[in-house]
Structure 1
Amino acid sequence: MIRPHRKHPLWLAYAAHRVSGLGLALFLPAHFHVLSLAITRPKDLDTFLSFAEAPLVKLAEFGLVFLLAIHFFGGLRLLALEFLPWSGRQKNLAAATVAGAFLVSGLFFLRAI
C-alpha cells in the first residue's frame, strides 16, 4: 500500500532529487576513469571516444544531463524551501523543476545528435 504522503508531488520531487543524486554519484567513478585515460592511456581514450559517438551513448548522455538538471533544479527547490516563505505554489515549482530539467537535457540531446 502506498502511504498517503508518497502521493504528494513534493514527495516525488524529494525522491527525484535523491535518485538523481545517487545516479550522478554512480556515474562519477566512470567519468573519472575516462578522464584518467587521457593521461595514462591516450589510445584507449581514443577508442572510448569513438564508442561515445554511438546513438545509444548519446541517449545515455541525455539521461545523464537530465539527472544533472533534476538534481540542480531540485537543489534550487530545497534552497527556496529553506530561505523563502512557504507558499501554495511549491507544487507548481516542483513541476517546473522537472520541465526545466527536461528542457535542458533535451536541448543538449538535440545538439549532440
Structure 2
Amino acid sequence: MSTAPALSARRSARGPRAYRRNALWVAAMVHRVSGLGLAVFLPFHFLVLALSLRGEAALDGFLRWTDAPAVKLAEGGLVFLLVVHLLGGLRVLLVENLDWRANQTRAALAAGGVAALVAVAFLVRLL
C-alpha cells in the first residue's frame, strides 16, 4: 500500500511552501545568504589590501571614507554575517557528524541571537 497520496494530501493541506515556516529551513537559508554576503565582501577586502600596497596616501584616503556612519553600519552587518555563518556551519557539522537531532531549532535560534548580540556589541564599541 502506497503512502504517497496521504503525504501529498497532507502537504496540500498545509500549503505548497509550508516548510518555509520551519525555523530550521530559515536557519539554512540564513546560512546560505550569509555565505553569499561574505563572498561578495571578499573582493572588496582584497581591494583594500591592494590599496595598502600602492602606498600610504591611497590607504589613508580609503580609511577616511570608512569613518562614514553608513560604512560603520555595514561593518556591523558584516560582523553579523560572519558570526551567523560560523555558528550555522557549526550546527551543520554537529548534525552531520554526530547523532544530534534534538534541540536543533533552539540551537539555530540561539545562533541568530548570539550573532545579533555580537554585531550590536561591535557597533556600540565602534560608534
Band of TM-score, shorter chain = over 0.9
Q: How does 1:1-113 map onto structure 2 within 5 Å?
A: 3-113=17-127
CA distance in structure 1 between the partners assigned to 2:16 and 2:54 by the alignment: 50
Moved more, 33-42 or 91-100: 33-42
Runs of 4+ in 1 over 6 A off after TM superposition: none
Q: Number of paired residues? A: 113
Name the TM-score, length of structure 1 as normaliser: 0.93
Which piece of structure 1 moves more, 83-92 or 15-24?
83-92
Q: 1 or 2 for the larger relative contact order (CA 8 Å, sep ≥6)?
A: 1
- Note the C-alpha offset of 1:2: 5.8
**What is the aligned-residue identity percentage?**
50
Structure 2 unaligned spans of 5+ = 1-14
State the secondary structure of the residue aligned to 2:99. coil
Deviation at 1:30, TM superposition (A): 0.6
Task: Say what the alpha-carbon RMSD is for the aligned residues.
Answer: 1.3
Which structure has the larger Rg? 2
